[in-house]
Structure 1
Amino acid sequence: MILVYTGDGKGKTSACTGQTVRAMGQGMKVAFGQFMKRDGQAGEQTMLAQWLGPRFLAGGLGFLRRDEERPAHREAALRVLDWAREQLLEVDMLVLDESLYALGSGILLREEVEDLLARTRQQDKHLVLSGRDAPDWLVETADLVTSMTEIKHPWRAGIKAAPGIEY
């Protein structure tokens, strides 16, 4: 199955982490990669690294802020993509957090994501993708799509990100 967690609200990475825990609880082998996030940025990374060992990779450089950073981000994305292709051969489920951010910013290409989708289906595996702005072609292709919608968020009231809540 192809699962997509998208939308402008909080909870996409949390949904990916929950999906990972659920699959592991069913005895499935899972790999979890993050495209934009650097290692050591968020609490879930600590736990995923403990649970998954080398099947966890936070391979990003942070979010793309300036266009001159694009080549370095593209290189990092290609490293995560190569890792993901290798993992897909070994696991039942591959989770790629912030893959849609990478896709939307042009760091990942549509044909690269389509190749992963095809490999997933050919190998009868599960692929979980997350990030804002899932493109229509992906929504059409996916088996399950959930959109997180922000109703209210504390940062709009000037409250800073909190450990264990935001990261």
Structure 2
Amino acid sequence: MLLIYTGNGKGKTSACVGQAIRAMGQGMTVAFGQFMKRHGQAGEQEMLERLLGERFRAGGKGFLRREEDRPAHRKAAQELLQWAEDTLPQVDMLVLDETLYALGYDIVTRDEVEHLLELAEPQGRHLVLSGRGLPDWLAERADLVTEMNEVKHPWQKGVQATRGIEF
């Protein structure tokens, strides 16, 4: 199955982590990769690394803020894509957090995402993707799409990102 967590609201990564935990609780083997997020950037990374070991990779360079950083982001994305392709045959579920962000900023290509889908389907592997900006072509291929909608958020009142909540 292809499962996608998207939208402008908070909770996409949390949903991915929850999906991974649920699968592991059913005896499934899970790998979890993150585009964009640097190692040590977010609280879930510590726990995922403990649970998954080599099957966890935070492969990003942070969010793309300057065009001159694009080559480093692209290189990191290519390395994570190769890790994902190499890991896929060894797992029941592969989670790739922030794929849609990377796709929307041309850090990964449609062809690269479609290639992973083509590898996962015949092997019976579940693929879980997340991020903002779900393209129509990917929504059509998905078996499940959940959209997180922001109703209220502390940043609207000027509250900075909170440890343990946003990161």
Look up the match of 1:48.
Answer: 48
**Aligned match of 1:95:** 95
Equivalent-residue separation in structure 1 for 2:100 and 2:154 (angstroms): 24
> Counterpart of 2:140 in structure 1: which amino acid?
E
The equivalences for 1:128-143 within 5 A come to 128-143=128-143
Q: Can you list the C-alpha shifts for 1:3-50, whole angstroms capped at 9, x where unaligned?
A: 000000000000000000000000000000000000111110000000
Q: 2:126 and 2:145 mapped to 1: Cα distance?
A: 14
Q: What is the rounded CA distance, in whole Å, between the counterparts of 2:163 and 2:67 in structure 1?
A: 30
Q: Give 1:106 shift.
A: 0.2
Deviation at residue 67 of structure 1 after TM alignment? 0.8
Unaligned stretches of 5+ in structure 2? none
TM-score normalized by the length of structure 2: 0.99
**Residue 82 of structure 2 aligns with which residue?**
82
Report the alpha carbon displacement of residue 164 of structure 1 after superposing the two structures with TM: 1.1
Aligned residue pairs, count: 167
Instruction: Give the TM-score taking structure 1 as reference length.
Output: 0.99
Gaps of 5+ in 1: none
What secondary structure does 1:165 align onto?
coil
1:162 Cα deviation from its structure 2 partner: 1.1
Question: Which residue identity does 1:24 align to in structure 2?
Answer: M
Calculate the aligned-residue CA RMSD, in Å.
0.5
Aligned to 2:3: 3
